[in-house]
Structure 1
Amino acid sequence: MSTDTISIKGISRPVSRIALGTWAIGGWMWGGPDDDNAIKTVHRALDEGINFIDTAPVYGFGHSEEVIGRALEGRRDKAIVATKLGLAWTDDHKPYRDSRAARVRKEVEDSLRRLKTDHIDLEQVHWPDGKTPIEETARELEKLHKEGKILALGVSNFSVQEMDIFREIAPLSTIQPPYNIFERATEREILPYAKAHDAVVMAYGPLCRGLLAGKMTRETTFPSDDLRSSDPKFQKPNFDHYLAAVEDLKQIADRHGKSVLSLAIRWVLDQGPTVALWGARKPEQIDGVNDALGWSLSDSDKTEIDAILKRHVPQPIDPDFMAPPQRD
């Protein structure tokens, strides 16, 4: 793993190009938490060379951060921890956007407490808040940055125009958009912007919520509290089309002696200054990380992947359904 690292402005140590994504560890929209396995998962990731952990308060409404805090006791120096802010939630756990200055400071203090740490390596604004000026959010984050509570700043799900406003106030080190073989809107503006401004793209959903793990069949179903039950990709007839594409992608993976999961992660890593977020909630789900490292796809592989998409999914579905509402 040592050669598969990337530098992020503001963080003194290189981070692994695969980061542990911990939405599922929080349990919300993933069938509930399993803390024992979650802690073992964090430990397995560290043992496998993943030193970059990405979380957020809204992942289980604080639970993911709390579990990570417990898992890193005695190992905090081994991990670079990224979290987020800017999403509040109602008493019945319905998230909404709130990036007002007071909320920003409260979230940072709450995250420090849950994570059992005196600093956050990377703090990201989870979603733009259309009712709060970006300048207000950025100014408060810059204050926290200067106080030493935050080492680096990033944004998630921001447009180029929103990032320009943010950068006038505070340094921007990372950008976190959805990005995978099937969801590629990031290529139009976000990825070129990252390259132009020395920012790292933290691609969330590189396995497209498990679709690119290669284990689903046409008979696979999802319970009502599973995010995928409301994702149009996983509804027929769309689901069948995406699964057909995965079958063809397996042929390319086979040529490299890899799984389609490894192919999907490798594809993201080959696109530029990227980190792939590897979501896991059980230690065995870390298995295979190293299979995505130490090789690259050829130009002809990438051309063939594009052809597979055009053949099976000529009108890909973007993950817009995931966007939380603005506050009332």
Structure 2
Amino acid sequence: MSIETIRIEGIATPVSRIGLGTWAIGGWMWGGADDARSVETIRQAVESGINLIDTAPVYGFGHSEEVVGKALEGIRERAVIATKVALEWSDSGIHRNATARRIRQEIEDSLRRLRTDRIDLYQVHWPDPLVPHEETARELERLREEGKILAIGVSNYSPEQMDGFRRFAPLAAVQPPYNLFERAIEADVLPYAREHGLVVLAYGALCRGLLSGRMHADTAFEGDDLRKVDPKFQAPRFARYLAAVEALRQLARERHGKSVLALAIRWILDQGPTIALWGARHPGQLAGIDEAFGWKLDAEDLRRIDVLLAEHVKDPVGPEFMAPPARQG
């Protein structure tokens, strides 16, 4: 089955509608990672037709970008690299910093770690309330004019923030959290993207593994794995979400002969100008990607999905716990 693609303004290469998310590959907040397996995973993704590789400096504090750069040596031109900017880290923690000076420093660090002369999609990781949109946007536009980046995106921005940003630089994409269990963007960001021609890169497409169909009641999370503090993975909610996954699994099988993982990805792809970011850190986690293509969910599918979710998840929670703090003055 051929992989569906989408065009992102400013990037000549058609972009695969599933992208490889590499937060876990950085090791940090996911209980560690094996670099050799990570390189193998990235290369296998590209071989399978997934050309979008999404990363960020803060994923492992530079480590994810370094692994991506190593993996893409010799095949760089077959990949579309998306990375991010405007988070800084120190002994005191992680904070937002979207100043022009920080952006100028970060672009050089990212280019070096990624072993490339350009970044295809450069995204502001989180809005910085202490920096005017004009400063951030104009600096990114200068980088675009210099050829160091091809397209500009933002992540975790509201429509109002995107409006402010777009007064000073063209936006091609927005990256919000979006999956069957986390749907807040349907009220604002998704319709805004449709209206303004922005591609939506949906992160957390499998809701941190919940929608993979591979979790069960006694699944354990080790080390610094962020799911140890994610409310979805704590009792009693975890059992309710797992029950919802089981109901979705049955629907996917009965209606389409598909896995719940394929259903979760197909659902995102059917929402509009979307890309589903699929996190993986070993090749086996790429299994099932081709199942997401070549079919569609119909109106009855969507109705039944909503009924199942309402029945099993009566107190849904979002991904707000992941938001980094702003700097203090």
Question: Structure 2 length as normaliser, TM-score?
Answer: 0.98
**1:91 Cα deviation from its structure 2 partner:** 3.0
Instruction: Supply the AA of the counterpart residue of 1:314.
Output: K
Change in CA separation of 1:207 and 1:3 when aligned onto 2, cut-off 3 Å: closer
Matching of residue 11 in structure 1 with residue 11 in structure 2: yes
Matching of residue 30 in structure 1 with residue 39 in structure 2: no
Tell me the residue number matched to 1:277. 277
- After TM superposition, list the pairs within 5 Å mapping 1:89-168 onto structure 2: 89-91=89-91, 94-168=93-167
Distance of 1:223 and 1:25 partners within structure 2: 15
Moved beyond 2 Å, runs of 4+: none
Instruction: Supply the AA of the counterpart residue of 1:321.
Output: F
**1:221 Cα deviation from its structure 2 partner:** 2.4
- 1:121-168 deviation line (CA, Å, top 9, x unaligned): 000000001111121110110111100101000000001100001101
Tell me the residue number matched to 2:48. 48
Distance of 2:305 and 2:222 partners within structure 1: 31
Change in CA separation of 1:292 and 1:3 when aligned onto 2, cut-off 3 Å: closer
**1:314 Cα deviation from its structure 2 partner:** 2.4
Instruction: Supply the AA of the counterpart residue of 1:26.
Output: G
Tell me the residue number matched to 2:289. 289
Identical counterparts, % of pairs: 63
Gaps of 5+ in 1: none
**1:33 Cα deviation from its structure 2 partner:** 2.6
**1:3 Cα deviation from its structure 2 partner:** 5.5
Distance of 1:32 and 1:182 partners within structure 2: 26
Instruction: Supply the AA of the counterpart residue of 1:310.
Output: A
SS at match of 1:155: strand
Question: Structure 1 length as normaliser, TM-score?
Answer: 0.98
Tell me the residue number matched to 1:80. 80
Tell me the residue number matched to 1:66. 66
Distance of 2:313 and 2:284 partners within structure 1: 31
Contact 2:172 2:199 in 1 (8 A): yes
- 1:91-135 deviation line (CA, Å, top 9, x unaligned): 36x211111110011111110010011110000000001111121
**1:270 Cα deviation from its structure 2 partner:** 0.6
Tell me the residue number matched to 2:185. 186
**1:315 Cα deviation from its structure 2 partner:** 2.8
Instruction: Supply the AA of the counterpart residue of 2:271.
Output: Q
RMSD of aligned alpha carbons:
1.0
- After TM superposition, list the pairs within 5 Å mapping 1:237-252 onto structure 2: 237-252=236-251
Gaps of 5+ in 2: none
Contact 2:3 2:49 in 1 (8 A): no
